[in-house]
């Protein structure tokens, strides 16, 4: 059958690119994500120029708005066994990384149409939190909403995470939120008309130290109390779930078959497309530059495209939240921490669950496309907004993964990238009203698991905003807890 | 594709194992080349539509030639030397690549398949689709065995690192060597030369510098640069070298880095541009000059001086050139007798190219027979390492490609990073060589 291919690794046609443009995905990064071009084994070598030429010819953007998507190492597919040979100095903190990705959006990418001069609700952050909230507000009839996003949709952590969704948490609040989120994810395609590829292959946690083993056992009991079917399993049972898994040094394993993985990007597209249909404005490539406040209320949100007068502001900017809060003289205790991640060549299905060694922060799963997607926390990672990629990470990850699953030594890494966790002192989120600025609502601090919590958190936040009815979520996790000293036991099932 | 009749053998005649069948090959040449000559041009099925695929770029820049080699998935057969007895299997097909039942997907979805919205929210159907999609996704199987123990990584420190041993990189190496500046040149191929030895020659091409005249040990061939990192240890190039004992990871710290990696052969979007028998122009010239392999009859399409130079090269070796379609024009002096300005190219054939058609300037379609369609367009600059290192990359709408922004002396926005040759957006080999020499002079000037 005649087709004109523009990316032959992923079978993307010229028509597919035109379709993305017709949906309003005009910049190269968005077209890449929506069509999948450039995500295959060649990583854009043979297709990027042709796609860019088509975008420049048929789309609204012209150079310098035509930018290449970020070229991520490695330039050629490279086996993990080779990465694993590079020495790592664990005594030094990781710094640097390539390429520099912050503040690289040229003004030419900004939308041409003017910003609305006022709106009832301005949501800062077009990640999954902000967009899910806008969607839920629209379900309650509130459509006078503007969502501000500094980059393209998926530019932040919502587009950079590994897609894991799980009910295995250490606090009742998180277990309940995650359960509700996974239910909403199951019906996402029905509600919003786009596939999110939820695959419930389970989460298999491994513990190698006594304290972590104890934590898994205690939390498994808590899960069961909430009706989550987590079970502590033997090494043999774990190997049955993941053939080839080495269980050396593993003290305890626990497994919940109802956890799983999703494909993160379509959530953002689904929410955003729905919002646009309802008249909600989703303004990409727009930076918040300040606030105008008086009488204990934010009156205007200032941006590099003009000011928006508003009744309510929601800060849902993830790792960028402290930086933006500072513009309103609000100090958030959140700290951004880089987390690196990689993806391998696509392979036929061989791995059911997401596997995580909770002690080291190693995690890996197989995506619907067949890639091994995984990461590993670095205990020495300093605080700071940094999304650069390091060789140190690929080396550490490859060493740790080969120890757990030796057959992957020959598997080739296709690309590595990084995103930022939005870390709070007690690993719990920051939600609710801001002391001193009553109409500035906080929706941040999800410590790397915001993506999977967003559908449920946004649903409750929209209800709370629309009805004003009491919801303990927005009081328990209020910013006040850090000054009043009423901090509860923190979440202890954070990976990394 | 065939071997030119009177060419003398370039290597030992061997056989390789293609799914249980012994196929003749020439030891050391890219195994995809041997397969083509043996008539085995169907190497794989594509990931989504299961379209037939054969080698296209011979530069590890696409994915058409990926096969399972000796049990390892997704191996570039265009870059893997033929070895007696090596086992080759085609991927992503059932029951076989030649008769692939999933090839029907291509026919069921003539206008494409929107995986975002297909069956979205349709009860049962979406669950079935998710299960089917998972089984259909992925290429190749998890390797059945562990990787061998690898050589330890090596950390090298040098004044200047040069990436790429083509016209620009070699000219720079010559200058560095004359000035006594210690350098390392990384070349991913077995031999240096780039388009000087593998491209379609242009009349004013410079001579290929003698590697023997460069300091011993300064040229690392079969070494792929894979990243320009900036970690806690400072800036360095990461590379993988094929050494006699096996693969080795290298970290190369250099005071100055000159990037002259050339460009990637790009896809030109036209109907059936992925059919076996469609090759990049530089793949065709490489096969001809390095391995005496050429089509019987070729249709050429693209633009730029290399398009017409390729027609000349093929004719000298008695390949019948049935069309030279210049998509931009005007035609240069001395163009091939069939050359014309045209548009809307299309390759025809079910499992391999059998003919080629295009629209002439007078609006009429013309169809010609051929066993290969050769796409010769200016290469897409390999800007990846430069961008990782902090150089600025711009889109050149006129030429339809991204290029690294550089001064005339090759300097970039990153003080220790210089560029020369195709990476800056094209030009002839002579221009690339001149740029390489200028960049070498400039970067020496900055060394303390």
Name the residue facing B147 among A46, A64, A410 (closest C-beta): A410
Name the residue facing B48 among A11, A92, A94 (closest C-beta): A11
Under 8 Å CB pairs connecting chains A and B tally to 293
Per-residue confidence (pLDDT) for residue A404, from 0 to 100 = 95
Per-residue confidence (pLDDT) for residue A23, from 0 to 100 = 95
Per-residue confidence (pLDDT) for residue B96, from 0 to 100 = 86
> Average pLDDT in the A300-306 region?
97
> Average pLDDT in the B171-194 region?
97
The domain ranges of chain B are 2-136, 154-264+380-445, 278-376
**Running DSSP on this structure, what letter comes out for residue B210?**
P
Q: Across the interface, do A99 and B57 touch by the CB < 8 Å criterion?
A: no
- DSSP conformation letters of A431-474: EEEETTEEEEEEEE--TT-HHHHHHHHHHHHHHHHHH----THH
Name the residue facing B265 among A15, A46, A190 (closest C-beta): A46
Strands B234-243 and B223-231: antiparallel
Lowest average pLDDT, out of A189-203, A389-403, B105-119, B158-172, goes to: B105-119
> B251 CB near a chain A CB, below 8 Å?
yes
Q: Across the interface, do B47 and A10 touch by the CB < 8 Å criterion?
A: yes
Per-residue confidence (pLDDT) for residue A455, from 0 to 100 = 98
CB atoms within 10 A of CB B122: 13
Say if residues B88 and B18 touch (Cβ distance below 8 Å): yes
Per-residue confidence (pLDDT) for residue A401, from 0 to 100 = 97
> Searching chain B, which residue's CA lies closest to the CA of residue A104?
B392
Alpha-carbon distance of B37 to B46, in angstroms, equals 22
Domains detected in chain A = 5-69 (1.10.10), 107-160+265-334+426-484 (3.50.50.60)
Per-residue confidence (pLDDT) for residue A219, from 0 to 100 = 97
pLDDT at A100 over 80: no
Cβ contacts (< 8 Å) between B114 and chain A: which residues?
19
Reported as a single tens digit per residue, the pLDDT across B124-143 is 888 888 888 888 888 889 99
B278-376 shares the fold of B154-264+380-445: yes
Q: How confident is the model at residue A407 (pLDDT cuts 50, 70, 90)?
A: very high
State the CATH architecture for B154-264+380-445.
3-Layer(bba) Sandwich (3.50)
Q: Across the interface, do A3 and B271 touch by the CB < 8 Å criterion?
A: yes
Sign of the CA dihedral B343, B323, B293, B199?
negative
> Average pLDDT in the A73-80 region?
98
> Searching chain A, which residue's CA lies closest to the CA of residue B265?
A46
Tell which residue, A346, A339, A333, has the closest CA to residue A377. A339
Say if residues A18 and A51 touch (Cβ distance below 8 Å): no
How close is the nearest chain B Cα to the Cα of A75, in Å? 4
Mean pLDDT, all residues of chain A: 96
How close is the nearest chain B Cα to the Cα of A114, in Å? 26
How close is the nearest chain B Cα to the Cα of A15, in Å? 8
pLDDT at A428 over 70: yes
H or E stretch covering B312 = helix B305-316
Interface test with B, best of A15, A186, A348 (most B CBs within 10 A): A348
- DSSP conformation letters of B377-395: -PPEE--HHHHHTT--EEE
How close is the nearest chain B Cα to the Cα of A214, in Å? 33
Reported as a single tens digit per residue, the pLDDT across A340-376 is 999 999 999 999 999 999 999 999 999 999 999 999 9
Mean pLDDT, all residues of chain B: 95
pLDDT at A206 over 70: yes
pLDDT at A463 over 70: yes
State the CATH architecture for B278-376.
3-Layer(bba) Sandwich (3.50)
| Structure-model confidence comparison of residues B426 and A144, the more confident one | A144
Cβ contacts (< 8 Å) between A4 and chain B: which residues?
269-273
In the beta sheet, which residues pair with residue A7? A12
> Average pLDDT in the B293-308 region?
97
Name the residue facing A1 among B72, B106, B133 (closest C-beta): B106
Per-residue confidence (pLDDT) for residue B131, from 0 to 100 = 86
Q: Across the interface, do B146 and A94 touch by the CB < 8 Å criterion?
A: no
Per-residue confidence (pLDDT) for residue B448, from 0 to 100 = 73
Per-residue confidence (pLDDT) for residue B382, from 0 to 100 = 98
B:331-360 residues touching chain A, CB 8 A cutoff: 346
pLDDT at B365 over 90: yes
Q: Across the interface, do B251 and A391 touch by the CB < 8 Å criterion?
A: yes
Q: How confident is the model at residue A102 (pLDDT cuts 50, 70, 90)?
A: low
Cβ contacts (< 8 Å) between A391 and chain B: which residues?
227, 229, 231, 238, 251
Per-residue confidence (pLDDT) for residue B101, from 0 to 100 = 86
Which positions ≥6 away from B422 have C-beta within 8 Å?
B166, B168, B262, B263, B378, B379, B381, B382, B432
Q: Across the interface, do A368 and B134 touch by the CB < 8 Å criterion?
A: yes
Alpha-carbon distance of B359 to A175, in angstroms, equals 63
> B245 CB near a chain A CB, below 8 Å?
no
B2-136 sits in which CATH class?
A: alpha beta
How close is the nearest chain B Cα to the Cα of A127, in Å? 19
Per-residue confidence (pLDDT) for residue B132, from 0 to 100 = 86
| Structure-model confidence comparison of residues A348 and B111, the more confident one | A348
Which positions ≥6 away from B127 have C-beta within 8 Å?
none
Q: How confident is the model at residue B109 (pLDDT cuts 50, 70, 90)?
A: confident
């Amino acid at each position: 059958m005649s087709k004109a291919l523009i990316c032959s690794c992923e079978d993307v046609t010229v028509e597919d690119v035109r379709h993305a443009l017709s949906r309003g995905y005009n910049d190269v990064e968005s077209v890449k994500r929506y069509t999948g071009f450039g995500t295959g084994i060649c990583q854009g070598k043979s297709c990027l120029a042709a796609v860019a030429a088509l975008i420049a010819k048929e789309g609204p953007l012209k150079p310098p708005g035509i930018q290449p998507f970020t070229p991520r190492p490695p330039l050629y597919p490279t086996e993990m066994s080779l990465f694993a040979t590079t020495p790592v100095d664990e005594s030094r903190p990781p710094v640097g990384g390539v390429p520099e990705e912050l503040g690289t959006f040229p003004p030419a990418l900004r939308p041409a149409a003017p910003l609305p001069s006022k709106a009832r609700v301005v949501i800062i952050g077009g990640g999954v939190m902000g967009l899910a909230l806008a969607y839920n507000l629209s379900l309650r009839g509130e459509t006078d909403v503007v969502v501000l996003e500094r980059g393209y949709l998926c530019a932040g952590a919502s587009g950079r995470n590994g897609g894991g969704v799980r009910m295995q948490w250490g606090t009742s609040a998180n277990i309940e939120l995650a359960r509700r989120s996974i239910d909403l994810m199951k019906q996402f395609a029905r509600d919003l008309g786009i596939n999110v590829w939820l695959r419930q292959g389970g989460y298999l946690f491994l513990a190698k130290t006594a304290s972590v083993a104890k934590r898994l056992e205690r939390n498994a009991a808590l899960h069961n109390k909430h009706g989550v079917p987590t079970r502590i399993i033997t090494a043999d049972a774990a190997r049955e779930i993941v053939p080839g898994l080495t269980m050396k040094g593993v003290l305890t394993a626990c497994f919940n078959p109802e956890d799983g993985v999703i494909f993160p990007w379509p959530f953002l597209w689904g929410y955003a497309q729905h919002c646009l249909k309802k008249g909600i404005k989703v303004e990409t490539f727009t930076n918040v530059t300040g606030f105008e406040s008086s009488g204990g209320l934010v009156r205007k949100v200032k941006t590099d495209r003009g000011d928006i007068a508003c009744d309510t502001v929601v800060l849902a900017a993830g790792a960028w939240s402290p930086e933006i809060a500072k513009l309103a003289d609000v100090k958030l205790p959140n700290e951004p921490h880089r987390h690196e991640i990689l993806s391998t060549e696509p392979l036929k299905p061989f791995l059911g669950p997401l596997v995580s060694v909770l002690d080291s922060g190693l995690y890996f799963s197989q995506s619907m496309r067949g890639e091994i997607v995984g990461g590993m926390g670095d205990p020495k990672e300093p605080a700071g907004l940094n999304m650069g990629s390091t060789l140190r990470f690929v080396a550490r990850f490859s060493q740790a993964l080969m120890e757990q699953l030796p057959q992957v030594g020959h598997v080739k890494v296709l690309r590595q990238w990084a995103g930022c966790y939005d870390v709070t002192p007690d690993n719990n989120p920051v939600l609710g009203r801001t002391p001193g600025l009553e109409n500035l609502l906080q929706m941040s601090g999800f410590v790397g698991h915001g993506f999977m919590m967003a559908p449920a958190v946004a649903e409750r936040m929209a209800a709370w905003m629309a009805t004003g009815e009491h919801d303990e979520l927005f009081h328990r996790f209020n910013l006040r807890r850090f000054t009043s000293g009423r901090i509860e036991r923190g979440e202890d099932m954070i990976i990394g | 594709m065939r071997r030119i009749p009177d060419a003398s053998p370039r290597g030992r005649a061997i056989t390789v194992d293609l799914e249980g069948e012994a196929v003749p090959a020439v030891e050391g040449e890219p195994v995809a080349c041997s397969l083509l000559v043996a008539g085995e041009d169907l190497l794989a099925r594509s990931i989504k539509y299961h379209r037939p695929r054969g080698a296209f770029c011979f530069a590890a820049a696409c994915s058409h030639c990926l096969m399972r080699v000796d049990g390892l998935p997704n191996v570039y057969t265009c870059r893997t030397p033929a070895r007696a007895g090596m086992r080759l299997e085609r991927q992503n097909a059932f029951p076989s690549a030649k008769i692939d039942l999933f090839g029907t997907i291509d026919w069921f979805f003539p206008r494409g398949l929107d995986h975002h919205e297909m069956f979205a929210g349709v009860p049962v159907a979406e669950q079935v689709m998710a299960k089917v999609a998972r089984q259909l996704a992925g290429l190749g199987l998890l390797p059945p065995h562990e990787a061998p123990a690898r050589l330890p990584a090596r950390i090298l420190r040098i004044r200047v690192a040069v990436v790429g041993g083509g016209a620009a990189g070699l000219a720079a190496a010559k200058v560095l060597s004359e000035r006594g500046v210690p350098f390392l040149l990384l070349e991913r191929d077995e031999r240096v030369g780039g388009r000087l030895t593998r491209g379609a020659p242009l009349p004013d091409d410079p001579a290929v510098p003698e590697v023997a005249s460069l300091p011993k040990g300064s040229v690392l061939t079969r070494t792929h640069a894979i990243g320009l990192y900036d970690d806690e240890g400072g800036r360095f190039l990461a590379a993988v070298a094929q050494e006699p004992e096996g693969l080795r990871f290298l970290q190369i710290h250099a005071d100055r880095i000159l990037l002259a990696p050339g460009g990637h052969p790009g896809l030109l979007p036209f109907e059936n541009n992925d059919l076996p028998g469609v090759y990049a122009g530089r793949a065709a010239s490489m096969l001809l000059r390095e391995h005496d392999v050429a089509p019987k009859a070729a249709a050429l399409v693209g633009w730029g001086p290399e398009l017409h130079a390729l027609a000349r090269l093929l004719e000298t070796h008695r390949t019948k050139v049935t069309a030279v379609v210049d998509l931009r024009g005007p035609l240069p002096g001395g163009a091939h007798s069939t050359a014309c300005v045209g548009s809307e190219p299309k390759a025809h054939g079910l499992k391999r190219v059998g003919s080629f058609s295009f629209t002439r300037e007078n609006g009429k379609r013309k169809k010609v027979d051929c066993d290969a369609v050769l796409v010769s367009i200016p290469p897409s600059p390999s800007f990846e390492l430069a961008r990782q290192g902090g150089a600025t990359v711009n889109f050149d709408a006129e030429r339809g490609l991204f290029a690294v922004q550089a001064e005339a002396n090759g300097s970039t926005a990153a003080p220790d990073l210089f560029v020369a040759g195709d990476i800056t957006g094209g030009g002839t080999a002579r221009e690339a060589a001149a740029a390489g020499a200028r960049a070498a002079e400039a970067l020496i000037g900055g060394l303390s």
